[in-house]
Amino acid sequence: MHKITMTREEQVRLVKERLGQAQKVVVLTGAGISAESGIPTFRGADGIWEHYRATDLATPEAFERDPELVWAFYNWRRELISRVKENPAHQALVTLEKIVPDFTLVTQNVDGLHQRAGSINIIEVHGNLWRVQCTECARITMDMSVDMGKRPHCRECGGVLRPDVVWFGESLDGLLLSRAEEAARTCDTMLVIGTSGIVYPVAFLPALAKDGGAFVAEINMEETPVSPGLDLTILGKAGEIMPLLVP
């Protein structure tokens, strides 16, 4: 691929062409796709992990130590996400799903904005912040409350509830991960949108797609550690680039 010499217009034309011919597409998204909706990313200048320590808010140990602090963080995010709207990048993926015969959206985001936009075949590898899980009976329920309170409890057994998201040090759901890996291995085209590509095992997915012979394009504000192994990186905002690729 003529990575270095291509102009933005040529990159856009090539990716659009590939998407037009694609039979099986996988899209991998990260926090960057929701940035233009007004949800802060985790890393970067104003990222969440620049202001707070992940070890205080997003580990099982943090929750055991101080569940009220962890719930305050998730209540803050629930409130913020409930106020924002999906953006043109989320919407372009809804259109793409309608056009492509076989489409899988793998997201690391827990904000639920892909569902709200109308995407259907979504694998949420890091969970969903609108679901809660009981730490006693393991029951998982949807709860769209903007404020879950300081120490929410399970209606069935009275156990302490936690957000149904994957925290640092926890394993991903094995079934979801193997579905995502299988989709990556067997797709012919992959888009990698708005992820720093440093959180594993998800960061392996673009390499799996490349190994399987897929064309893999990245859309990001900057190059990432996965960029060198991909066919091209379109530098720019997802909300501006995606509508050009999927009119």
Catalytic residues: 126
Q: Please, are residues 103 and 121 in contact by the beta-carbon 8 Å criterion?
A: yes
Give yes or no for residue 221 binding ligand OAD (CB under 6 A).
Answer: yes
Give yes or no for residue 229 binding ligand OAD (CB under 6 A).
Answer: no
Q: Please, are residues 235 and 139 in contact by the beta-carbon 8 Å criterion?
A: no
Give yes or no for residue 106 binding ligand OAD (CB under 6 A).
Answer: no
Q: For residues 242 and 34, what is the distance between their CA atoms, to the nearest angstrom? A: 13
Place of tokens 């960057």: 32
Q: For residues 188 and 23, what is the distance between their CA atoms, to the nearest angstrom? A: 7
Q: Please, are residues 36 and 239 in contact by the beta-carbon 8 Å criterion?
A: yes
What one-character DSSP code corresponds to residue 227? G
Give yes or no for residue 34 binding ligand OAD (CB under 6 A).
Answer: no
Residue numbers 120-149 binding ligand OAD by CB under 6 A? 126
Q: Please, are residues 245 and 16 in contact by the beta-carbon 8 Å criterion?
A: yes
Q: For residues 2 and 10, what is the distance between their CA atoms, to the nearest angstrom? A: 10
What one-character DSSP code corresponds to residue 228? G
Which of residues 30, 88, 112, 152 is near ligand OAD by CB under 6 A? 30
Residue 103 φ then ψ, to 5°: -135, 130
> Which residue, 63 or 188, has its beta carbon nearer to ligand OAD?
63
Give yes or no for residue 43 binding ligand OAD (CB under 6 A).
Answer: yes
Give me the 57-96 binding string for ligand OAD, x by CB under 6 A, dash otherwise: -x--------------------------------------
Q: What is the DSSP string of 112-162?
A: -HHHHHT--SEEETTEEEEEEEETTT--EEE---S---SS-B-TTT-PBEE
Among the candidate windows 36-44, 94-102, 134-142, 148-156, which touches ligand OAD by CB under 6 A?
36-44
CA-wise closest residue to 29 among 116, 123, 98: 123
> Which residue, 74 or 215, has its beta carbon nearer to ligand OAD?
74
Give yes or no for residue 243 binding ligand OAD (CB under 6 A).
Answer: no
Measured from each CB, the residue nearest to ligand OAD is 32
Which of residues 187, 214, 238, 245 is near ligand OAD by CB under 6 A? 238
Which of residues 12, 44, 82, 135 is near ligand OAD by CB under 6 A? 44
Give yes or no for residue 235 binding ligand OAD (CB under 6 A).
Answer: no
Give yes or no for residue 31 binding ligand OAD (CB under 6 A).
Answer: yes
Give yes or no for residue 205 binding ligand OAD (CB under 6 A).
Answer: no
> Which residue, 189 or 196, has its beta carbon nearer to ligand OAD?
196
Contact residues toward ligand OAD (CB under 6 A) are: 30-32, 35-36, 41-44, 47, 58, 108, 126, 166, 168, 194-196, 199, 219-222, 224, 237-238
